[in-house]
Amino acid sequence: MRVPLGLLLPVLLVELLVPSWALQPHSPESQAGLETLEPKDSQNQTWGDMQGPPDEEEEEKEKGEAWLRACVQQLSNATSNLGFSLLRKISMQHDGNVVFSPLGVALAMAGLMLGANGQTRAQVEHGLQLQALSEPQPLLLPALFKQLRETFSGSLELGLDQGSFAFIHKDFDVKETFLNLSKRYFDTEFVPTNFRNASEARGLMNYYINKETQGKIPKLFDEIIPETKLILVDYILFKGKWLTPFDPILTEADTFHLDKYRAVKVPMMYRQGKFASTFDRNFHCHVLQLPFRGNATMLVVLMEKMGDHLDLEDYLTTDLVETWLRNMKTRKMEVFFPKFKLDQKYEMHELLKQLGIRRIFSPLADLSGLSATPRNLQVSKVLQQSVIEVDEKGTEAVAGTLSEIIAYSMPPIIRVDRPFHFMIYEETSGMLLFLGRVVDPTVL
């Protein structure tokens, strides 16, 4: 029997307030897109209508594929580092439980970039560390996200579903080009909404989100401002299945230490078997891999000493995680891992401002890709709500160097009975899907 991890589900909200709107088509150049990432009527056109020996065509194809892999890797690295930066900003606000989706934030901001121009767009690119992928071709970044979305949705075992809604005021005309690009690259569904009737609008939007998240997030919207013209919502539903499940019969109540002085009782899962792990001597932490079906993995990072988990966050980078992964060694072990459920909502726009992305949230925003009269047009909200439930039953819910990393120091028994971090990533692309911190498994 394959047992699902349970659910990991973020919903991302982007709200725009505008005084008036008009249509203005994008330039033909911006509509061109990155055609090499899109299917064509003639498959041979992907690598150019090259005429020459088969060896030359094969060589060009290999070069193109290598370039594409490099772009995806660059996108994955940037998204991961964005996630680590956001985690550090969240930790400045509180030291409790955390769960959010770096991929969800990146998707939402990339969608907004379709309507942003000038310094507004450049600031978002810089803040997300995506300049290298945006400057060569404006639609390279959306095309890469589209390919990733299609890859994820095409894997039934991965259990990852992503979608996007645009709730539009009923008398508001969004630029046709923006609508088309949003549909093409992010498969956005547009829903006419009467924002002047706040109660009706709130009910309608909560209905759609509740339905798409299978009841896991029944009330994303608490209040609606009547002046709102457009709200963008992104959601990701992850129903991961452990590659090797935990046996629920072996789950028992056990102690989880919150700190040196406090502890709680939690349902502690148990499994004996072969696990990939490593020990980072530099940071004094154990790193354990818990694989899912469909080329996804949870990394669990457990500090050796109680209370050191927050210190690690200052050093989390893509390079450090890649070093851990390179030094994994598989061995027979016993693992004790707590069941937990987290439900967190964050005002991502406030965190993004701290990363230098400010103009898009101010009256200086240039969103002329959305409106021909963009004065006073700005993004007012970027909210993300994430839910994760980890258990053995599968309840669905939505810089160390090589010399400092040793792969044989993981103890034969690892007991995750104190605060820890987790990362869930897709192995083929290296994309960080979710990032979290569990300080108290008994608290949402």
Q: Where are the domains of the chain?
A: 63-240+342-389, 248-339+396-438
pLDDT of 92 over the 90 cut: yes
Q: Using the Cα atoms of residue 135, residue 138, residue 142 and residue 147 in order, give the sign of their dihedral.
A: negative
Instruction: Give me 441's structure tokens.
Output: 């498994």
| Distance between CA atoms of residues 348 and 236, nearest Å | 16
Predicted TM-score of the model (pTM): 0.84
Q: How many residues does the chain have?
A: 444
Residue 249's DSSP bridge partners are none
Express as a percent the part of the chain with pLDDT over 70. 82
| Distance between CA atoms of residues 284 and 306, nearest Å | 11
Give the β-pairing of 160-169 and 188-193: parallel
| Distance between CA atoms of residues 60 and 38, nearest Å | 18
Question: In the predicted model, what is the mean pLDDT of residues 397-414?
Answer: 43
pLDDT band (50, 70, 90) for residue 11? low
Report the SS3 class of residue 323: helix
Lowest mean pLDDT among 112-116, 232-236, 345-349, 418-422: 232-236
Q: Which candidate, 103, 93, 116, places its Cα nearest to that of 11?
A: 103
CATH no. for 63-240+342-389:
3.30.497.10
pLDDT of 349 over the 70 cut: yes
Residue with tokens 């690259």, as numbered in its chain: 185
The answer to whether the beta carbons of residues 340 and 254 sit under 8 Å apart is no
| Distance between CA atoms of residues 56 and 392, nearest Å | 52
pLDDT of 375 over the 80 cut: no
For the 248-339+396-438 domain, the top CATH level (class) is mainly beta
CA-only gyration radius of the chain, Å = 23
pLDDT of 23 over the 70 cut: no
Identify the pLDDT of residue 409: 42
Q: Using the Cα atoms of residue 412, residue 416, residue 417 and residue 419 in order, give the sign of their dihedral.
A: positive
Report the SS3 class of residue 437: strand
Instruction: Give the amino acid at 294.
Output: G
Residue 286's DSSP bridge partners are 279, 302
Q: Which candidate, 118, 89, 117, 103, places its Cα nearest to that of 355?
A: 89
Identify the pLDDT of residue 81: 95
List, for residues 330-341, the tens digit of each pLDDT value: 999 999 999 988
List, for residues 238-292, the tens digit of each pLDDT value: 778 888 888 899 999 999 999 889 999 999 999 999 999 999 999 999 999 999 8
Identify the pLDDT of residue 76: 94
The helix or strand, by DSSP H or E, that contains position 119, with its residue range, turns out to be helix 118-127
- Average pLDDT of the chain, as a whole number: 80
Q: Which candidate, 30, 360, 21, places its Cα nearest to that of 175?
A: 21
Give the β-pairing of 413-415 and 329-338: parallel
The DSSP output letter for 225 is -
Pick the more confident residue, 401 or 92: 92
Q: Which candidate, 255, 278, 230, places its Cα nearest to that of 406?
A: 278
Pick the more confident residue, 115 or 227: 115
Question: In the predicted model, what is the mean pLDDT of residues 406-411?
Answer: 42
pLDDT of 52 over the 70 cut: no
pLDDT band (50, 70, 90) for residue 17? low
Instruction: Give me 388's structure tokens.
Output: 């994760």
Identify the pLDDT of residue 88: 96
pLDDT band (50, 70, 90) for residue 13? low
Express as a percent the part of the chain with pLDDT over 90. 36
pLDDT of 51 over the 60 cut: no
The set of residues, in sequence order, having a beta carbon less than 8 Å from that of 271 and lying 6+ positions away, is 244, 245, 246, 247, 250, 334, 335, 337
Question: In whole angstroms, how far apart are CA 352 and each of 77, 78, 189, 247, 383?
Answer: 18, 14, 25, 41, 11
Backbone angles phi, psi at 391, to 5 degrees: -155, 180
Identify the pLDDT of residue 307: 83
Question: In the predicted model, what is the mean pLDDT of residues 192-202?
Answer: 88
Residue 379's DSSP bridge partners are 16
List, for residues 136-180, the tens digit of each pLDDT value: 677 899 999 998 888 888 777 877 777 788 888 777 777 889 889
pLDDT band (50, 70, 90) for residue 232? confident
- Cα angle value 175/109/346 (rounded, 5°): 125
